[in-house]
Structure 1
Amino acid sequence: MILDAIRKRWAWVKHLFADGAYDRLQLMDKAAFLDFTVEIIRRSDMAKGFEILPRRWVVERTFGWMIRWRRLVKDYEQRIDVAEAMIHIAMGSLLLRRNAHP
């Protein structure tokens, strides 16, 4: 599961934000077992139209950056490791561009 990989790679991470769709018993049990605090970000039932949700904009902004890479617009890859490598290349390029041209 992804939580095991997060704990292994970034042991210092304690707080996770999740979409309302991920409010599942299995996720919560695993998060509690690995000592994570999970905050579910939900849209209000009373809200009409567009509403900015806390911390959700970070995810949407990152997806927007990745969409600039034509190969990441659709899932063209047949292997997951190639798709992951393309995401790493796209985000690495973004980092390099931002550090080279502050």
Structure 2
Amino acid sequence: MLAGMDLSLWPRVRKLFVDWGYRGLKETASSLGLELEVVARPYAGVRGVWVREGAEVPEIPRERGFKPLPKRWVVERTFAWLGRNRRLAKDYEENPGVSEAWVYLGTLRLLVRRLARAV
């Protein structure tokens, strides 16, 4: 995935925020000069604790309620805003350039609404 990327197209990209499933790409990213930050919950991967019979079970701290993950929440929120546009709710376009144009139009719509509210 990263190995075939032409990073000259994105000269300002220095850091990648990835989900827990992409944590194995750290070496590949560092060889390309990129910093990879894995965004995950602090208790990811913890399903239970093995203890000997009769031993005391350690308490695993868990946070209650909704806690948005840093940086990932920004991306999820943006996709939700773009999904409110009828043409961006589903990906029916065959040409990626058309999809890109609709994303630009969707973000333009968001910005115009924000400017109209500010006046």
**Alignment TM-score, normalising by the size of structure 2:** 0.63
Identity %, equivalent residues: 40
Aligned pair in 2 of structure 1 residues 92, 8: CA closer, same or farther (>3 Å)? Answer: farther
Gaps of 5+ in 1: none
Dislocated runs of 4+, deviation >4 Å: none
Q: Which has the higher helix share?
A: 1
Matched, 1:69 2:67: no
The alpha-carbon deviation at position 72 of structure 1 amounts to: 1.0
- Whichever of the two has the greater Rg, that structure is 2
The 10-residue stretch of structure 1 (58-67 or 48-57) with the greater mean CA deviation from structure 2: 48-57
Aligned pair in 2 of structure 1 residues 9, 89: CA closer, same or farther (>3 Å)? Answer: farther
Q: Distance in 1 between matches of 2:109 and 2:8?
A: 25
Q: Deviation per CA, 1:49-74, whole angstroms, max 9, x where unpaired?
A: 53221112111111122012111111
Gaps of 5+ in 2: 44-61
Q: Distance in 1 between matches of 2:65 and 2:114?
A: 37
Aligned pair in 2 of structure 1 residues 64, 37: CA closer, same or farther (>3 Å)? Answer: same
* Equivalences, count: 98
CA contact (8 A) 2:2 2:29 kept: no
Q: CA RMSD in A?
A: 2.7
Q: Counterpart of 1:56?
A: 72
Paired residue secondary structure (2:17): strand
Q: Counterpart of 1:30?
A: 28
Q: Which has the higher contact order (CA 8 A, sep 6+)?
A: 1
**Alignment TM-score, normalising by the size of structure 1:** 0.71
